[in-house]
A and B are shown apart, each in its own frame.
Chain A
Amino acid sequence: MSTMTGKDKKFTEVAQNKENDTTINTSNKTVFETKDLNLWYGEDHALKDINLKIPENQVTAIIGPSGCGKSTFIKTLNRMVEMVPIVKVSGSIAYRDKRIFDPRYRVEELRTQVGMVFQKPNPFPKSIYDNIAYGPRIHGIKNKKVLDQIVEKSLRGAAIWDEVKDRLNENAYGLSGGQQQRICIARCLAIEPDVILMDEPTSALDPISTLKVEELVQELKKDYSIIIVTHNMQQAARISDKTAFFLNGEVVEFSDTNELFSNPEDKRTEDYITGRFG
């Protein structure tokens, strides 16, 4: 297996070496499928032979101790990991019928389908309205009426419309941390993605805001496929349908959440979820 650097061109070379066809057969129940995914930060082998199938319209939780590669993994799914210059990736990732490292499938297109919510709430220093309208605007929507509709729909979708509907023109920085994170979720919904990646979305929030975000995730999974990284095992148990346990860059176990928490197959999983390390 060859390796490649973070540059698009090199990325795609390997993708082409491995597969000559852009499309592969994935069942329509799977949104992401990774095959022998390996990733290095320089010499540091951060992801090792990851083979996962992420199901549609479910919440998939990624758990594991700090530094196990769980954040790296979901950032690879929308290729945000390439913002680190020294990254090398090999293997393949299919998003539905598209190979994400294929040069004909542009990264901007991928990120329109696969939205992301970050660890720390990161609204723009703009008004609430402009935050939500940012995505639609960069994709070319200028019509004020359409934008108004998108903003309202997205804010309702993120369960924050009632809190902010009278102050849409105020700066989003004036909101609390929990509200800011739901603004970021709304901003993500505004591009009408198919999949939402969430990288420890509640780690900077208080318990009440965390609860609201968790309830929201339950609502959102009706319309979106959600992949959520969390270091909080209770959270994974509460909100997810599937759970993958990462350790040292490898997937130790991937199964239904109930199964994984009540009846782990691997000794290391059991040790981790019972709090013996991590």
Chain B
Amino acid sequence: MKHVDSTQVQNRMGTRLLINKLAKSIFFLSTIFGLIVLVILMYRVLSQGVEWIDWQFITGKLSTMAENAGVMGPLLGTFWLMLVVAPVTLILGVGTAIYLEEYAKKNRLQSLIQTNISNLAGVPSIVFGLLGLTVFVKGMNLGNIILAGGLTMSLLVLPIVVVASQEAIRAVPQYLREASYGMGATKWQTVKNVVMPASLPGILTGSILALSRAIGETAPLVVLGIPALIIPFPDNIFDKFTVMPLQIYYWTIDSALVDEYANLAAAAIVILLLLLFAMNSIAVIIRNKFQKRL
């Protein structure tokens, strides 16, 4: 006796195929939703801001007069901030990752540290702002200068760099390490010559994404008490500064007073998005380039 009744199979076929199509549509709509939001966002920002973007806007100094304002100050602020954040997070983040993956024994202490780092990645950025205010601005009496802001941002993105680097290091096949140890290499020689080169693309990708997160963050710097208007360009890490997202924030809340500030904010958003887009593209290019090699 047959268990599969072919007429029943025939009868059910229509419903099954219908559900199949339905599932596909739901998934497609989910995908398109994000795209629609992005298009609306881009449209609003571009229609408000693109006319305001000119050479004067990019290279000029900040000003209370909307038509005279330029964003070179915040751009330089962002640049100097990254000059602090990049080395600090790379050295501390990659160092931590190497220690945890290659040296630390897999015991309870290690798993405690691991859990803590993962939890830190989930701490709201404003809390890091408070930490920065307490430790760097007040505690070390640095004031709200680039160094203090950079160290605060470093703490914020450090967990991201650590976790991304750990994943990259873990992805290095064990047999490559064995080959190195098998020839009498020390741990450091193995890390330096085998593990690091093989995990570098992953580490760089993660770090660039973390940096672009730091570039976009606003809340911690608000807490540090960065003033709303800083006209002189910063030219070292001990200068006062402002950054792009913060300037966008101030222009937006002041647009109630001066209508044109909304346009300035939109124009600044366009430039910030271009910057972030460029950085993310670099991360993708690095990943693709090195993936082929391994």
Q: Which residue of B176, B180, B183, B197 is within 8 Å of A112 (Cβ)? A: B183
**With A85-B106, A124-B194, A171-B293: A135-B175 Cβ-Cβ less than 8 Å:** no
B interface: dominant SS: helix
How many residues on A have C-beta within 8 angstroms of the other chain's C-beta atoms?
A: 27
Contact with A along B160-187 (1 / 0, CB 8 A): 0000000000000101111111111110
Are A83 and B193 in touch, CB under 8 angstroms?
Answer: no
Contact with B along A187-206 (1 / 0, CB 8 A): 11001000000000000000
In the complex, the chain B residue whose C-beta lies closest to that of A79 is B181
Within A152-181, the residues touching B (CB, 8 Å) are: 171
How many residues on B have C-beta within 8 angstroms of the other chain's C-beta atoms?
A: 22
Are B184 and A112 in touch, CB under 8 angstroms?
Answer: yes
Nearest Cβ on chain B to A85's Cβ, whole angstroms = 6
Are A109 and B181 in touch, CB under 8 angstroms?
Answer: no
Q: Which residue of B105, B106, B183, B293 is within 8 Å of A111 (Cβ)? A: B183
| Stretch of A87-95, A114-122, A223-231 contacting B (4+ beta carbons < 8 Å) | A114-122
A126 to B184, CA, bound (A): 19
Are B182 and A78 in touch, CB under 8 angstroms?
Answer: yes
Contacts of A112 in B (CB 8 A): 183-184
**With A85-B106, A125-B198: A108-B184 Cβ-Cβ less than 8 Å:** yes
Are A111 and B178 in touch, CB under 8 angstroms?
Answer: no
Contacts of B180 in A (CB 8 A): 124, 134, 138
- The answer, yes or no, to whether B294 is at the interface (CB within 8 Å) is yes
- The answer, yes or no, to whether B189 is at the interface (CB within 8 Å) is yes
Nearest Cβ on chain A to B104's Cβ, whole angstroms = 11
Are B178 and A122 in touch, CB under 8 angstroms?
Answer: yes
Contacts of A184 in B (CB 8 A): 179
Q: Which residue of B105, B182, B194, B198 is within 8 Å of A85 (Cβ)? A: B105
A160 to B270, CA, bound (A): 58
Within B21-74, the residues touching A (CB, 8 Å) are: none
- The answer, yes or no, to whether A211 is at the interface (CB within 8 Å) is no
A134 to B189, CA, bound (A): 10
Contacts of B176 in A (CB 8 A): 122, 124-125
Nearest Cβ on chain A to B179's Cβ, whole angstroms = 5
Are B186 and A108 in touch, CB under 8 angstroms?
Answer: yes
Are B193 and A134 in touch, CB under 8 angstroms?
Answer: yes
Contacts of A191 in B (CB 8 A): 183-184
Which residues in B have some Cβ–Cβ distance to A below 8 Å?
Answer: 105-106, 173, 175-186, 189, 193-194, 197-198, 293-294
Closest 6 CB pairs of A and B: A112-B184, A111-B184, A122-B175, A116-B182, A135-B183, A108-B184
